[in-house]
Structure formats: structure tokens, C-alpha cells
């Protein structure tokens, strides 16, 4: 598992702009700086800005600090991103609730 930083935007040049706000995700997927990602969860594409060789549990998007210990109320959990190839002939779904039937 590793932590990656992405920036949102459809312009792949955005990853070179150090003023652009970065967001952290953890992933086991093979990604490199400059890769363009897309998710139905977000309205914009993402560009990978940095790949760390280790993973962290928390990220403070105000200061950019990473930690495995919750030491501030400004820390947020880092979500896991799984990068998959989408097949147009496959419908992807998640279970949102278990049936009460046994």
C-alpha cells in the first residue's frame, strides 16, 4: 500500500502547479506521477502529482501533514482508491444494504 497525491482537473498540466490543492489516497494499484484518473465519485478527472512508497492513515489538507496517529482534529482519514480497468460490458454495483431475509 502507498499514499498518492492527486489534483483535480482535466488539464494534465495542473500537476505541475504547486499552488493547486492536493488530495491524498491510499492505493495498491500501479500508478505514476502524471497518470490521469477518472472516477464516477468525482466530477473532474484527477492527475497523480506524487507517489509515496509508504502509506499513511491520516492527512491534514490544511497543512499537508501525514500521520499514522490522530494528533489533531484537522486530520482526516485517507480513503483507499482501487484503480481498475472498466469493461463496458460489465455493470459495476456495490451492496448498500443486506437483505433481512435469511
Condensed to tens digits (0 to 9), the pLDDT of residues 14-64 reads 545 566 788 999 999 999 999 999 888 888 899 999 999 999 999 997 888
Is 8 a domain residue? yes
Q: Is the pLDDT of residue 13 over 70?
A: no
Kindly tell me the burial class for residue 24, based on how many C-beta atoms sit within 10 Å of its own C-beta (0-12, 13-18, 19 or more).
buried
Q: How many domains does the chain have?
A: 1
Domain span holding position 58: 2-80
User: Among residues of the chain, what percentage have pLDDT more than 70?
Assistant: 87
Q: Is the pLDDT of residue 102 over 90?
A: no
Is 47 a domain residue? yes
Q: What is the pLDDT of residue 47?
A: 92
- Which pTM was predicted? 0.78
Amino acid at each position: 500500500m502507498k499514499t498518492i497525491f492527486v489534483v483535480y482537473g482535466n488539464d494534465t498540466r495542473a500537476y505541475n502547479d504547486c499552488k493547486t490543492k492536493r488530495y491524498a489516497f491510499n492505493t495498491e494499484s500501479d500508478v505514476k506521477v502524471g497518470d490521469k484518473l477518472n472516477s464516477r465519485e468525482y466530477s473532474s478527472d484527477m492527475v497523480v502529482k506524487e507517489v509515496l512508497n509508504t502509506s499513511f492513515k491520516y492527512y491534514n489538507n490544511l497543512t499537508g501533514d501525514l500521520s499514522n496517529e490522530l494528533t489533531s482534529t484537522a486530520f482526516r482519514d485517507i480513503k483507499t482508491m482501487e484503480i481498475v480497468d472498466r469493461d463496458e460490458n460489465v455493470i459495476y454495483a456495490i451492496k448498500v444494504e443486506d437483505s433481512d431475509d435469511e
